[in-house]
């Protein structure tokens, strides 16, 4: 099948359906976006932020990369965070991982993935940091899934270490960071309960002010 053509066809049908259901929909969206949430998720095709959370266009600002990483030298991700916090003034940032993540699996292997190796290195560091716990689990799936969770927790901390987030907190801006994980097996989101809403739990060495 010519999939790009199929996508154009589905787009026409979707736009028409939206206009029928809500004639003012596109005019409102064209005027401005005011999402309350920044979503940082995995690029995996099965983990689409708006679809799995039942959201409409305009409701979530999105950044996705392999294994939902927040790396301090990644200008793409850092720029998205700054724009979302300072310009859009989102109230929540959700780092959402997913069980069975291919990026996490690849990072646990001793194999050369070429350029991608540099990206996976960040996950290997998280894995190495929790080696005893992960090695203590039985079965590959349990080990991968636990690292998926630990990786989300590490990225929540990385977010709290950014100047953008700390400046917002210092200015009294309400900004909550959440760590969630999605199960492809049943379509459900789970809260890892690692929320951060102020600088209190940020170690001194990572504080910018």
Active site residues: 42, 44, 46, 98, 101
Task: Decide whether 44 or 149 has the Cβ nearer to Co ion.
Answer: 44
- Give the residue, chosen from 70, 77, 101, 106, that forms a contact with Co ion under the rule CB under 5 A: 101
Span near Co ion by CB under 5 A; candidates 7-15, 75-83, 96-104, 131-139: 96-104
Whichever of 42 and 49 has its CB closer to Co ion, that residue is: 42
Instruction: State how far the Cα of 94 lies from the Cα of 63, in Å rounded to an integer.
Output: 10
CA 35 vs CA 50, 63, 83: distances in Å: 12, 13, 12
Q: How far is the CB of 119 from Co ion (least distance, A)?
A: 12
Which spans in 108-139 are helix H?
A: 116-129, 131-135
What is the nearest approach in angstroms of Co ion to the Cβ of residue 192? 16
How do beta strands 176-183 and 188-191 pair?
Answer: antiparallel
- Positive or negative torsion for Cα 108, 109, 115, 121: positive
Touching Co ion, residues 37-56 (CB under 5 A): 42, 44
| Minimum separation from the CB atom of position 63 to Co ion (A) | 14
Q: How far apart are CA 124 and CA 107, in angstroms?
A: 6
Residues 6+ apart with CB under 8 A from 183: 98, 99, 189, 190
Size of the site for Co ion (CB under 5 A): 4
CB of 79 to Co ion, least distance (A): 22
Which residues are CB-contacts of 127 (< 8 A; sequence separation ≥ 6)? Answer: 107, 108, 134, 147, 150
Q: Cβ 96 to Co ion, closest distance in Å? A: 10
Q: Is the dihedral of CA 155, 160, 161, 167 positive or negative?
A: positive
Stretch 119-158: interaction string toward Co ion, x if CB under 5 A: ----------------------------------------
Q: Which is nearer to Co ion, 154 or 168 (CB)?
A: 154
DSSP 109: S
Which C-beta is closer to Co ion: that of 158 or that of 164? 158
Does 106 sit near Co ion (CB under 5 A)? Answer: no
Give whichever of 169 and 182 is closer to Co ion, judged by the CB atom.
Answer: 182
Binding site for Co ion (CB under 5 A): 42, 44, 101, 103
């Amino acid at each position: 099948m010519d999939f790009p053509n199929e996508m154009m066809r589905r787009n026409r049908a979707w736009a028409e359906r939206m206009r029928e259901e809500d004639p003012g929909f596109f005019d409102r969206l064209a005027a401005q976006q005011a999402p309350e949430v920044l979503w940082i998720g995995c690029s995996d095709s099965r983990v689409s932020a708006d679809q799995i959370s039942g959201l409409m266009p305009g409701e979530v600002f999105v950044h996705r990369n392999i294994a939902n990483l927040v790396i301090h030298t990644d200008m793409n991700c850092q720029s998205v965070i700054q724009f979302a916090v300072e310009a859009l003034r989102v109230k929540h940032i959700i780092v959402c991982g997913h069980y069975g993540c291919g990026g996490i699996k690849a990072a646990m292997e001793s194999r050369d993935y070429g350029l991608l190796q540099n990206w996976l290195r960040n996950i290997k560091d998280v894995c190495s940091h929790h080696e005893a716990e992960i090695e203590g689990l039985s079965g590959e799936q349990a080990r991968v899934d636990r690292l998926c969770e630990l990786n989300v927790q590490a990225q929540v901390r990385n977010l709290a270490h950014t100047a953008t987030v700390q400046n917002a907190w210092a200015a009294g801006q309400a900004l909550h960071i959440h760590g969630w994980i999605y199960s492809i097996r049943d379509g459900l989101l789970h809260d890892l309960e690692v929320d951060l809403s102020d600088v209190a739990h940020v170690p001194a060495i990572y504080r910018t002010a």
